[in-house]
Structure 1
Amino acid sequence: MDFDDDLLLAERTPLPDAVGGRLREQLVFLAEVDKLKAVLRQSPLAAVDRRENDAEHSWHLALMVTVLAEHSDEPIDVGRTVQLVVVHDLIEIYAGDTPLYDDAGRESQQQREEAAADRLFGLLPSDQAKHFRERWDEFEARRTPEARFAKAMDRMQPLLLNWLAQGGTWRTPGVTADTVRERKSVIGDASAPLWTAAREVIAEGERRGWVEPGG
């Protein structure tokens, strides 16, 4: 769903005039990010026959960080890592989701997402706008252990959903097992055991015919 030309949700039903200042800015932002629930991803859900939305994806990543943190190759601050995975997809409210195997969309992804980050985080009070933007930039750059593990979760979660769907987006035309391994390799930057498990999942999917053979 494209919200680019829409009014802010808080402009459709404005808050009472008595609610002002810093709190008003925060509530306007929190109202606006409700749009995340309407941004559909390509990943199929395992429990029901529909696609996942971005808010569901973000919740699942936060839980995965909490459950799987022990498998990080480096010590991580779990709370900071949860912040990263909760913040990183908010910009898709304006930029849209760019599927992992959409090579054409990936060409303009950075430009679209940078503009979206400026617009969305700019709704917050200046100190929080700076904090959220720094977290988003940290995730994108993957320079910290927390960001590397957050990115690994972002790659691991759809892998699990595609396995449960017996292919899912692995069946995208032109995608092979080698493509999946290449796009998922950042998991190995954060966790050797999770990357070993991911490769086993991909290999078994290849053997079962759920993804085109590599090579």
Structure 2
Amino acid sequence: MNAQLVKVLEVIKLAEKLKVEMRHSWLSNGRQESVAEHTWRMSLMGILIEPYLPQKVDLLKMLKMIIIHDLVEAEAGDIPTFDTMNSAELKEQKVKNEAKAIENIRDMLGDDLGIELYDLWFEFETKETYEAKVANALDKLEVQIQHNEADISTWLEIEHQMTFMMDKHVAFDPVLQQFKGLIEVEGEKKLHKAGIDVENIKANLMK
């Protein structure tokens, strides 16, 4: 047992890197956000939204997925979605790096727990189960909530467009669609307040 606990401690130490791995998101006080902070609020969102979902969800399984999904970034680092949107090469490299990282974590634990983490990570990535779909939707929604809370000067131009690109992540669930709508309205108000031509953004997205 002691030998296995040593391995568990090593993974916990690895996870500390997520406290210092910065994301391209900024907080309301002007500080850059860490990966760990993003994951924590995703977990809270999962707990708070679960009672209102129209389908039964295995909350423990979903929370495990949420907490594990960015653990690979302790090794692979964080690459923003907008960096991979127009680069198939970078997207492929990101997939390879993260897959290698979860393999290393599995092997670091070296038992059934390692296999469970490995399987849950891939379940999140493939988005085939209801829990994985909800977790992925919350991942995208939390990002937009954080953008809405940050100063507009921290937004890249592509993030103006991404405010209105969340539909595909929530299309499977009516409650998440409504929740997305609330978040999108806040983002749109923020863009309007900054004098950004929202109608032009929407028109370009429909082309």
Secondary structure of the structure 2 residue equivalent to 1:189: coil
Relative to the length of structure 2, the TM-score reads 0.83
RMSD of aligned alpha carbons: 2.3
- Structure 1 segment 21-170 matched on structure 2, within 5 A: 21-46=3-28, 48-103=29-84, 104=87, 105-167=90-152
- Structure 1 segment 166-205 matched on structure 2, within 5 A: 166-167=151-152, 171-177=155-161, 179-182=162-165, 185-190=168-173, 191-205=176-190
Change (3 A) 1:183 1:141: same
Secondary structure of the structure 1 residue equivalent to 2:139: helix
Asked if structure 1 preserves the Cα contact closer than 8 Å seen for 2:21 and 2:77, the reply is yes
How many residues were matched structurally? Answer: 194
Asked if structure 2 preserves the Cα contact closer than 8 Å seen for 1:84 and 1:135, the reply is yes
Asked if structure 2 preserves the Cα contact closer than 8 Å seen for 1:175 and 1:212, the reply is no
Change (3 A) 1:168 1:84: farther
Change (3 A) 1:139 1:20: same
| Runs of 4+ with >4 A deviation | none
In structure 2, runs of 5+ residues without a counterpart are: none
Q: CA deviation at 1:207?
A: 2.4
**Aligned sequence identity (%):** 22
Q: CA deviation at 1:208?
A: 2.5
Change (3 A) 1:147 1:174: closer
Asked if structure 1 preserves the Cα contact closer than 8 Å seen for 2:163 and 2:184, the reply is no
In structure 1, runs of 5+ residues without a counterpart are: 1-18
